[in-house]
Chains A and B, each alone.
Chain A
Amino acid sequence: MKRFLLLLRSIRRTQGEGPESERTSGERRVMTDGGTSEKRSTFQRWLDSDIVQSAPFWLPPFLLMGFFVYAAIGWNFLLSLTEYSGFGDPDYSNLGLQNYWAMLDDPGMWAATRNTFVLLVGFTVVCLIVGLLLALLLDREIRFSRSFRTIYLLPFALSFIVTAQFWRWMYNVNNGIINQFIGVFGLGPYSWLGSPKLVLGAVIFALVWQFSGYTMIIYLAALRSIPNDQYEAARADGASTVRMYWRVIIPQLRPAMVSATVTLVLFALKAFDFLYATFDGYRPRRGADILATKMVRESFGRSEWAYGSSIALMLFVLSLGVITPYLYNQYKRGNL
């Protein structure tokens, strides 16, 4: 990109060479160090600056993003300060933080926040562990490793609407395959999606099933980029397989883990579609309500637009809390 811009500028320079050199030749004068200088107007220098030259590339997406994403977020924040609900137009003349205070008094809000965090941490950690184990397994060059890779990745390719319906059937109390299976060992039947104690765990399990293949691929790519010498050196030093992975290989997977974590956490924050499909609406069973479902329910179910906006902003702040350290870290490493 940068090289292309330089090329573009040099072409413009050569095109303008003829007349420009004639025009400026009279102004050319001797500097104290013996060189010559070109006197150019500030405007021309501004026109020639990197930022203006590259404007055709960054300006349209900047404006589009600015308007559709950041202005919308700003508007959302403004809405959250009003008392906008029902039909009609929001009244912007009387702004205040009342919706944010109301959140503190809303037990449903606390429950949704708690569930969001449990989902976030549980889902991310289990996904990272399962993905790592799968990746290490496939990295051992076992037979049919390519087929296994495809099999593990397949759930990730399916739509949530499809997988949610699968899991609804599999979790059915009477004839679901999960209860049939544990029934063989004399357990259950459990109401996986019905019991407030089990439902969040059941949702996390289903999501881990779907996303661990993705984590696996990220890890696997990182594993493949580690030179074989390191395996051999570790072996030559007499390290066991477990020790070799623990001491030599896994520490090198940190960047892969960080990027997988960010993706997983951001997904978990808005795992709305899976819950919507599982519970056939935006009112999940008690114990599985998260901020995203509560936000949609408050806005579109009750027309409490301002309150819904303030929940949306909470979600946004949480997402920022995850993504900012990551971006800063990347910036410090010079990856941005």
Chain B
Amino acid sequence: MLKGAGAAGLAGLAGCTGGGGSDTLEVLHGWTGGDGADAADALFSAFEDEHSDIDFNENPIGGGGNENLDQTVANRLQGGNPPSSFAGWPGANLEQYGDAVGDIESEVWDEAGLKEAHVQEAVELCEYNDGFSAVPLGSHRLNDLFYNVGVLEDAGVDPESIDSADALIDALDAVESETDATPFAFSLAPWCILQTWAQTMLGEHGYEAYTNFIDGNGDEAAVRDTFEKLEQILGYINSDAASVDFTEVNQDIMSGDAAFIHQGNWAAGAYLSPDRDLTYGEDWDAIRYPGTEDYYTLHIDSFIYPSDNPTPEDTATWLQFVGSEEAQVAFNQYKGSIPTLTDVSTDEFNPYLTDTIDDFDNAAEKPPTLAHGLAVDTSTQADLEDVLNNNFADPYDVDGATSGFMDSV
């Protein structure tokens, strides 16, 4: 009922604001603030430079960590009033859309030769229903463990020696006893617990155990062991973890009030901000999450193609552009992510992202992130987050969380 009314309302609204209606290329995305907004500006002005003949209307919908964007997209697809294209995760995330997303294999992927230009994992994640429904825009790395260099020096911890969960726990212990800083800055938001659980699983039990779990053939002993390790690690977090979000605790890394934080590499955007006088390698640095040194845990932002498209030709032009080097360099250097293209010039990227691109090219495996739509469908991801919220968000119940995870996937 709510949805129907919402869809009707939105359809009405879009009808009013659409202006030219079906002639205008309309692109929805969620980058409304900070580095995201800068990146979106760069992307759209690059598009304007290259295709000045195409009328377009970019429509940013912020708030709620993409909750509002996803809801608007859902309502418009449902109401038969799809935008030309919208930003979202590819991979299993596409499954929720059913037939509401269309195929652009020949118009975009073959036409622009994107299959050869992008890394194989990104290509596969955009495949859907025996065709292609999305084009990758950029990638964040999920298995970064950021740290404050000064705090680690005070604690006498050598970050390069941390290569397992046990080594991490020893390091956290050293920080706790030697300094006043929080050893492990953390937010107990379910998606944060999920992404750290996934990296712990990957680091302790390897790529195969991780993909087996995603495919629904998880080894119960491995899942349980991961929860046991994670429980120990979460023994070193800030006491207000239950009521803060990651941007707040990330401040503590910059101010030297915390030692480590595990986040996707969007967290580095704050460190690199010109308002902060912080230097990569001197004030802050990153290692791979312990045990995942050979991997690049893959997160992908993409643009998705709705079927029943109001502007099929212009949308194809737009999506070819999204997959091009111009678009990906323009966008990612500001977003703090990297292109999914295989061979790309690093001139425009800062030293941290240049290192990331280098790791991307040399990673043995690129496992998909579990907490960002690539590995499991929306509903499974919500189930996993519910299990964590109910069993593993302080207090920690290893048995309940393990059986919940085994039942969910």
Contact = CB atoms under 8 A, between A and B. Distances in A.
A194 B242 contact: yes
Interface stretch (B19-27, B94-102, B332-340, B362-370): B94-102
B179 interface: no
Given A194-B394, A301-B382, A302-B379, A286 B389 contact: yes
B5 A285 contact: no
B242 A193 contact: yes
Contacts of B239: 173-174, 189, 191
A283 B190 contact: yes
Contact of A171 (B78, B243, B385, B389): B243
A336 B125 CA distance: 63
Given A108-B386, A285-B389, A193 B98 contact: no
Interface in A250-302: 280-281, 283, 285-286, 297, 299-302
A166 interface: no
B390 A286 contact: yes
Contact of B382 (A73, A280, A302): A302
B379 A76 contact: no
A9 B152 CA distance: 89
Interface stretch (B64-72, B108-116, B154-162, B221-229): B64-72
A75 B3 CA distance: 12
A286 B64 contact: no
B240 A72 contact: no
Nearest to A168: B243
Interface in A187-208: 189, 191, 193-196
A19 interface: no
Interface string A97-118: 0000000000010000000000
Contacts of B386: 108, 283
A56 B5 CA distance: 27
- Interface SS of chain A: loop
Nearest to B75: A300
Nearest to B389: A286
B59 interface: no
A53 interface: no
Contacts of B77: 87
Contacts of A302: 378-379, 382
B37 to A, nearest CB: 20
A300 B71 contact: yes
B240 A76 contact: no
A193 B98 CA distance: 38
A5 to B, nearest CB: 35
A196 B1 contact: no
Contacts of A301: 382
Nearest to B239: A173
A314 to B, nearest CB: 14
A76 B74 CA distance: 19
A173 B97 CA distance: 41
Find the residue from A86, A108, A189, A280 having the highest chain B CB count within 10 A: A86
Interface string B352-377: 00000000000000000000000000
Centre residue among B98, B385, B389 by max chain A CB count within 10 A = B389
Interface string B57-90: 0000000110100010010011000000000000
A194 B190 contact: no
SS class, residues of chain B in contact with chain A: helix
A182 to B, nearest CB: 15
A281 B242 contact: no
A281 B65 contact: yes
A87 B242 contact: no
A196 B395 contact: yes
B242 A108 contact: no
Contacts of A196: 395
B396 to A, nearest CB: 12
Given A281-B64, A283-B190, A303-B74, A76 B378 contact: no
A312 B1 contact: yes
Given A79-B1, A88-B99, A285 B385 contact: no
B253 interface: no
Which of A75, A88, A108, A304 lies at the interface centre, i.e. has the most chain B CB atoms within 10 A of its CB?
A: A88
B78 A281 contact: no
A54 interface: no
Contacts of A286: 389-390, 393
Contacts of B238: 174
Interface in B371-409: 378-379, 382, 385-386, 389-390, 393-395
A212 interface: no
A273 to B, nearest CB: 14
A57 to B, nearest CB: 27
B242 A303 contact: no
Nearest to A285: B242
Contacts of A76: 1
Query: Which of B1, B3, B67, B393 has its CB near the most chain A CB atoms (within 10 A)?
Result: B1
B245 interface: yes
Contacts of A174: 238-240
Given A283-B386, A286-B389, 13 more contacts: A72-B1, A76-B1, A86-B96, A172-B240, A173-B239, A173-B243, A194-B394, A196-B395, A285-B242, A300-B74, A303-B74, A303-B96, A309-B1
20 contacts: A72-B5, A73-B1, A76-B1, A86-B96, A87-B78, A87-B99, A168-B243, A172-B240, A173-B243, A174-B240, A191-B239, A194-B240, A195-B394, A196-B395, A285-B393, A286-B389, A286-B390, A299-B2, A302-B379, A303-B379
5 cross-chain pairs, A with B, having the tightest CB-CB distances, nearest first: A194-B242, A76-B1, A173-B240, A87-B98, A193-B243
Interface of A: 72-73, 75-76, 79, 86-88, 108, 168, 171-174, 189, 191, 193-196, 280-281, 283, 285-286, 297, 299-305, 309, 312
